[in-house]
Amino acid sequence: MPIINRIASYHKDMTAWRHDIHSHPETAFEEERTANIVADKLGKFGIEVHRGLARTGVVGVLRAGTSSRAIGLRADMDALHVQETNTFNHKSSVPGKMHACGHDGHTVMLLGAAMYLAETSNFDGTVYFIFQPAEENEGGGRVMVEEGLFEKFPCEGVYGMHNIPGIPTGRFAVRPGPMMAAYDIFEIVVKGVGAHGAMPHLGIDPVVVSSHIVTALQSIVARNVDPMDTAVVSTTQIHAGDTWNVIPQECVLKGTVRTFKKPVQDMIEKQIEKIARNVAAGFGAEVTKWRYERRYPATVNSERETEFAAEAATALVGQDNVNRSPTPAMGSEDFAWMLQKKPGCYIWIGNGDGEGSCMVHNPGYDFNDEILPLGASYWVTLVEQRLARQAAMPKAAE
């Protein structure tokens, strides 16, 4: 694989770090052990360490030369609430938690880059190594931004990277504009009238009403969203009833919405509520709780920084291995919050299409150690290209 030679010599160490972090997964805002490892290593590399942003966040600051320019590189550190089914030695030692999204690998790739850059200092400016907590669901990236990430560590651009199973190793994919969708959640409580299960005519069955709502919600994407736009409306939870022969009083529906454009998002939010309230009313039931929450915005890459990211990837693997127009994914990313504040680029690195193709969030997933040095080489190349040293000025004639 085309990687920086010196980083290839870190491969064994990086693999050991990754296995250690993988076997000790920590979820949102509890990444104490992981943050300690990160801070300890950065300190040993001679990098200035700042802690405490978003509770467990860590930022390393490395300066070289005299330029006042700066860029930020971001990795996520958190694991998921998933029971791992892998049986290899580095499997999770914590029941119910696992690094099922590869953030263990992301953390180590950025650590590898930090080690190299601290050792070589072949750039002019400042690099911020941003290790964020709670990427999954809880918006650790948003909290870092709210707590002053970019005021404390001002930079001209911020960059993120995620592994993607199914893309072969040695390849990258990146595009300007939307890469990942906005992530919203909704909750609907339908109140009917409880009754004996054998005497439905004496009640109003919230389970039947809710079933009609779930079905009707499917018409939003099919009939209300412009066919040239993209959206997902998924009802993912239905909770009602306790026993065989009782029609319950209430039914709770929960789900998620994914969109790329704000007008589509606005329309869907209104439409879900309208359908839920009116379908319920048609049956004589009532929506007693309506909650719609916008969790993560869409992840939108800026043109210029996407060009920079693609250039760095191309320098490593060649243009045939950098897909410049991948289909955006309907998944979401809280790196989106950083991209709302700063221009930047989120790139995908292939986790493999053979053994590395088990999808993220699956209990059998594992980050592919083979790509650790490639990811670190990408970060280093990006820094050395963006914060390139100026050629020495020729001496004035004396």
Q: Give the interface segment with Zn ion, choosing from 95-103, 115-123, 225-233, 288-296 (CB under 5 A).
A: 95-103
Ranked by CB distance to Zn ion, the top (closest) residue is 101
User: Interacting stretch for Zn ion, rule CB under 5 A, among 99-107, 122-130, 181-189, 382-390?
Assistant: 99-107
Closest contact distance (angstroms) between CB of 289 and Zn ion is 28
> Quick one: which of 3, 47, 58, 101 contacts Zn ion (CB under 5 A)?
101
From 98-106, 183-191, 237-245, 296-304, span contacting Zn ion (CB under 5 A): 98-106
Which of residues 1 and 359 has its CB atom nearest to Zn ion in the complex? 359
The binding track of 52-91 with respect to Zn ion, each residue x by CB under 5 A or -, is ----------------------------------------
Tokens describing residue 25:
């997964």
Nearer to Zn ion, 135 or 205 (CB): 135
Nearer to Zn ion (CB atom), residue 76 or residue 205: 76
CB of 235 to Zn ion, least distance (A): 21
What is the distance between the alpha carbons of residues 123 and 255, in angstroms, rounded to a whole number?
A: 47
For residues 352 and 164, give the distance between their C-alpha atoms in angstroms, rounded to a whole number. 8
Minimal distance in Å, beta carbon 343 to Zn ion?
A: 22
Give the shortest CB-361-to-Zn ion separation in angstroms: 6
**CB 104, min distance to Zn ion, A:** 10
Q: Which is nearer to Zn ion, 315 or 329 (CB)?
A: 329
Would you say 101 or 247 has its CB closer to Zn ion? 101
Q: Which is nearer to Zn ion, 101 or 220 (CB)?
A: 101
Alpha carbons 101 and 367: distance in angstroms, whole number: 8
| Number of Cβ atoms within 10 Å of the Cβ of 284 | 11
d(CA 38, CA 22): 14
Of 203 and 375, nearer to Zn ion (C-beta) is 375
Binding to Zn ion, residues 305-334 (CB under 5 A): none
Span of 19-27, 100-108, 187-195, 294-302 interacting with Zn ion by CB under 5 A? 100-108
Q: Smaller CB distance to Zn ion: residue 76 or 305?
A: 76
The CB-of-147 to Zn ion minimum distance in angstroms stands at 21
Beta carbon of residue 210, minimum distance to Zn ion (angstroms, whole number):
29
Q: Tell how strand 177-180 and strand 250-259 pair up.
A: unpaired
Single out the segment in contact with Zn ion by CB under 5 A; choices: 85-93, 97-105, 246-254, 348-356. Answer: 97-105
The site that binds Zn ion (CB under 5 A) totals a number of residues, namely 1
Residue closer to Zn ion (CB basis): 21 or 225: 21
- Told to check if 276 binds Zn ion by CB under 5 A, we report no
| Candidates 58-66, 96-104, 123-131, 267-275; binding stretch for Zn ion (CB under 5 A) | 96-104
Closest separation between CB of residue 232 and Zn ion, Å? Answer: 16
Rounded to a whole number of angstroms, the minimum distance from the CB of residue 100 to Zn ion is 7
Which is closer to Zn ion, CB of 105 or CB of 206?
105
User: SS3 string of the chain?
Assistant: CCCCHHHHCCHHHHHHHHHHHHHCCCCCCCCHHHHHHHHHHHHHCCCEEEECCCCCCEEEEEEECCCCCEEEEEEECCCECCCCCCCCCCCCCCCCCECCCCHHHHHHHHHHHHHHHHHHCCCCEEEEEEEECCCCCCCHHHHHHHCCHHHHCCCCEEEEEEEEECCCCCCEECCCEEEECEEEEEEEEEECECEECCCHHHCECHHHHHHHHHHHHHHHHHHHCCCCCCEEEEEEEEECCCCCCEECCEEEEEEEEEECCHHHHHHHHHHHHHHHHHHHHHCCCEEEEEEEEEEECCEEECHHHHHHHHHHHHHHHCHHHEECCCCCECCCCCHHHHHHHCCEEEEEEEEECCHHHCCCCCCCCCCCHHHHHHHHHHHHHHHHHHCCCCCCCCCCCC
Q: Write phi, then psi, for 243 (nearest 5 degrees).
A: -150, 180
CA dist., res. 372 & res. 108, Å (int): 7
Q: How far is the CB of 360 from Zn ion (least distance, A)?
A: 5
Contacting residues toward Zn ion, per CB under 5 A: 101
